Structure 1
Amino acid sequence: MILSIESSCDDSSIAITEIATKKLLFHRKISQEREHAKYGGVVPELASRLHAVDLPKLLEEAKPYLNDLKAVAVTNAPGLSVTLLEGVAMAQALSIAKGLPLIPIHHLKAHIYSLFIEKEVIFPMVVLLISGGHTMVLDVKGYDDITIIASTMDDSFGESFDKVAKMMGLGYPGGPIVEQLAKKGDPEKFPMPIPLQHSSKIAFSYSGIKNAVRLLVEANQPLDEQTQADIAASFQKAAIAHLLQKSKKIFSHLRPKDFAIVGGASANMAVREAFSHLCTQFDCRLHLADLSYCADNAAMVGRCAIDAYHLKHFTDPLTIEVTPRTENFF
């Protein structure tokens, strides 16, 4: 069994995964959304203090499995440095105290493995990773063979939803709020610019759409509920159209047989529907993580750690480092 720990942002999570069968034996998560909502976003120092309280609670629940562990895995990059440190400190203590190998896990690689919880991996695969911190397309051929095809030049897909929600005073986290509000709106009401529409560059950019929303919000004060819904719907349509336009170019070039969407924002049902149509158009199989595993969680860390364990990707618990900003998957 592998005990896995996730603390890269505002979710404290611990899981126990059986190595041989890949079965998820234990998985618990404590979200900090309510505590951060009053500030309109994640406050790193507050998140760190909450991890220091919540992770030991989760470890206590996992106590019946501790004597049967073969390794400990922990997210150590990328993320908020002060929150990563909380998970790494616990992993170091467990590794040293019980004499277990320590497996460092890249957070974005773990999101890819959210597709394979209690399943065998499917590679090669092209993966769209969309979250509050990242927007990128990856060519994944294996655990140690991942190439970044495209990434964002500024804001991420998920971040743009949070910022749009904040502009309209809708609360945090903004993604689910904007998505639900968009269902009540007219996506044709406010035409939005599609970023890089006439550029051959394979990249993403959400600063332009975000600015368009800002101008709309300023021009339509005071905002009534229907106007908010129309702005949300128009924004979401443009945001997804941008993903589709650049992804279509990638599909035309690579012709993938298997394509996946992962990350917190992959829970957006409009995104899922739009890419289902795109994959049908290109005769490509679409893979999606279960909705319960889209956001940060230790189950995906544990599944990723199984492959790392077989590859013997261990690190010294005394020298493991956290890396807040990295897009290097190795």
Structure 2
Amino acid sequence: MTTSNDLFVLGVETSCDDTAAAVVCRRADGSCQILSNEVWAQHDDHAAFGGVVPEIAARSHVERLDSTIERAIAVAGIPFDRLSAVAATAGPGLVGGVMVGLTTAKAIALAHNLPLVPLNHLEGHALSARLTEPAAFPYLLLLISGGHTQLIHVRGVGDYVRLGTTIDDAAGESFDKTAKLLGLGAPGGPMVEAAATGGRANRFDLPRPLAQRAGCDFSFSGLKTAVREAATSIEQPTGQDVADIAASFQFAAARHLAQRTEKAMEMISPPEGDCRLVVAGGVAANCSVKKMLQDLCAANSWQLMVPPPKYCTDNGAMIAWAGAERIAAGMTPTLDESLSLAPRARWPLAPHKDGGKLGSGRKGPKA
């Protein structure tokens, strides 16, 4: 049964190559009910190019977003006049796609006189664990996706401190490039995981990035180079060779993620409240990565929380939920403020723990 204090929020997500819309209800007690979650994947549109083409992605969003929103509204059974607000990704991401989603959300807000909550895409991932279980603040977030690899101390809604980030490539990007190198197709993460199932993870001794470096930053460029060298060293690779390379890479990537995450665990000491590690982003759906992190948490008496796979990848429900969380926390911008916000290709979610500026130096592009 609904109450007058329940929030019904439409979420729109178009930051990369998934066109997504969802309606969620944030109950008065803080719990979440996902009423719809529609995602239109564009993998086939980009398959011939070996990666996401920004112009094609933006055009696909234009063609599909209206019908995706219509389905989300219809499945939820919540008409526009019952919505409490609209939330939309305003960045970071492919700016053409972000522009499509944010402009559409602005139009809906104006047409139906609704509050509009422009959101950082990373905040959607940061709060996604709270979609399906009561993940109390604070917690350590490992965000691993195609464009981002970060460790963030999540202290509350809108209160984030970045502990570490990648100094070159993102984890998901390295999976995608490995899949392309091995001729596995797209999406890269699931393809590498499938190929690795029959592979020997100990056949190729791949490097341990930043093993002697303090802090908890990440690096994946060296792993990609090592995978290329392993592949080109075999004149006519067999299916087993490909499986072995995929398994070796997957193991090395998971090990790197776990080792740097352990460093971040040590940095939050003594921990505030219970010890929780939340893992979000598309790479969180990888079973090998998840198993490595489960072992890490068990060894350190931490609780591991991973959203269901459909909420790890880009989706509208996490955007709608993040919008509802901000509204409940009293962080609703005025409509004029929301309408004036331009799409952003880069938008850091959290300041560095030492107060360093983002957007300059080696860490700028990936921050």
TM range (shorter): over 0.9
Is the contact between residue 122 and residue 349 of structure 2 (CA under 8 Å) also seen in structure 1?
Answer: no
Is the contact between residue 123 and residue 322 of structure 2 (CA under 8 Å) also seen in structure 1?
Answer: yes
Q: Say whether 1:215 aligns with 2:229.
A: yes
Q: Say whether 1:298 aligns with 2:302.
A: no
State the alpha-carbon separation in 2 of the partners of residues 89 and 196 from structure 1.
Answer: 41
State the alpha-carbon separation in 2 of the partners of residues 329 and 139 from structure 1.
Answer: 9
1:30-55 alpha-carbon deviations (Å, 9 max, x no partner): 11111111111111111111111111
For 1:85-234, list aligned pairs within 5 A.
85-234=99-248
1:87 is displaced (CA, Å) by 0.5
Instruction: Give the structure 2 partner of residue 327 of structure 1.
Output: 348
State the alpha-carbon separation in 1 of the partners of residues 244 and 87 from structure 2.
Answer: 44
State the alpha-carbon separation in 2 of the partners of residues 325 and 24 from structure 1.
Answer: 29
State the alpha-carbon separation in 2 of the partners of residues 154 and 292 from structure 1.
Answer: 27
State the alpha-carbon separation in 2 of the partners of residues 119 and 249 from structure 1.
Answer: 26
1:9 to 3, 10, 16: 16
Matching residue's letter, 1:91: A
State the alpha-carbon separation in 2 of the partners of residues 41 and 10 from structure 1.
Answer: 10
1:280 to 278, 293, 298: 298
1:199 is displaced (CA, Å) by 1.8
Instruction: Give the structure 2 partner of residue 29 of structure 1.
Output: 39
State the alpha-carbon separation in 2 of the partners of residues 121 and 200 from structure 1.
Answer: 29
Residue 318 of structure 1 aligns to a residue in which SS? Answer: helix
Instruction: Give the structure 1 partner of residue 326 of structure 2.
Output: 308
TM-score, normalising length from structure 1?
Answer: 0.96
- In structure 2, the gaps of 5 or more residues are 1-7, 352-367
Across the aligned residues of Structure 1 and Structure 2, the Cα RMSD in angstroms comes to 1.5
Instruction: Give the structure 1 partner of residue 54 of structure 2.
Output: 44
Residue 277 of structure 1 aligns to a residue in which SS? Answer: helix
Is the contact between residue 106 and residue 329 of structure 1 (CA under 8 Å) also seen in structure 2?
Answer: no
Residue 76 of structure 1 aligns to a residue in which SS? Answer: strand
Residue 188 of structure 1 aligns to a residue in which SS? Answer: coil
Residue 86 of structure 1 aligns to a residue in which SS? Answer: helix
State the alpha-carbon separation in 1 of the partners of residues 339 and 324 from structure 2.
Answer: 22
State the alpha-carbon separation in 2 of the partners of residues 82 and 301 from structure 1.
Answer: 18
1:74-124 alpha-carbon deviations (Å, 9 max, x no partner): 000111000001101111101111111110111111012221115444100
Quick one: structure 1 residues 119 and 287, their matched pair in 2 at CA, closer, same or farther if it must change by over 3 Å? closer
Instruction: Give the structure 1 partner of residue 4 of structure 2.
Output: none
Is the contact between residue 152 and residue 350 of structure 2 (CA under 8 Å) also seen in structure 1?
Answer: no
Instruction: Give the structure 1 partner of residue 354 of structure 2.
Output: none
State the alpha-carbon separation in 2 of the partners of residues 118 and 277 from structure 1.
Answer: 22
1:19 is displaced (CA, Å) by 3.3
Matching residue's letter, 1:263: G
Matching residue's letter, 2:12: I
1:245-292 alpha-carbon deviations (Å, 9 max, x no partner): 211222233254111110001000011111111111111111110111
Q: Say whether 1:289 aligns with 2:307.
A: yes
State the alpha-carbon separation in 1 of the partners of residues 84 and 264 from structure 2.
Answer: 40
- In structure 1, the gaps of 5 or more residues are none
State the alpha-carbon separation in 1 of the partners of residues 347 and 227 from structure 2.
Answer: 30
How many aligned positions are there? 330
Q: Say whether 1:236 aligns with 2:257.
A: no
1:263 to 260, 269, 281: 281
1:29 is displaced (CA, Å) by 1.0
Instruction: Give the structure 1 partner of residue 85 of structure 2.
Output: 71
1:328 is displaced (CA, Å) by 3.3
Residue 26 of structure 2 aligns to a residue in which SS? Answer: coil
Residue 204 of structure 2 aligns to a residue in which SS? Answer: coil
State the alpha-carbon separation in 1 of the partners of residues 313 and 191 from structure 2.
Answer: 15
Matching residue's letter, 2:159: D
Is the contact between residue 118 and residue 303 of structure 1 (CA under 8 Å) also seen in structure 2?
Answer: no
TM-score, normalising length from structure 2?
Answer: 0.87
Instruction: Give the structure 1 partner of residue 3 of structure 2.
Output: none
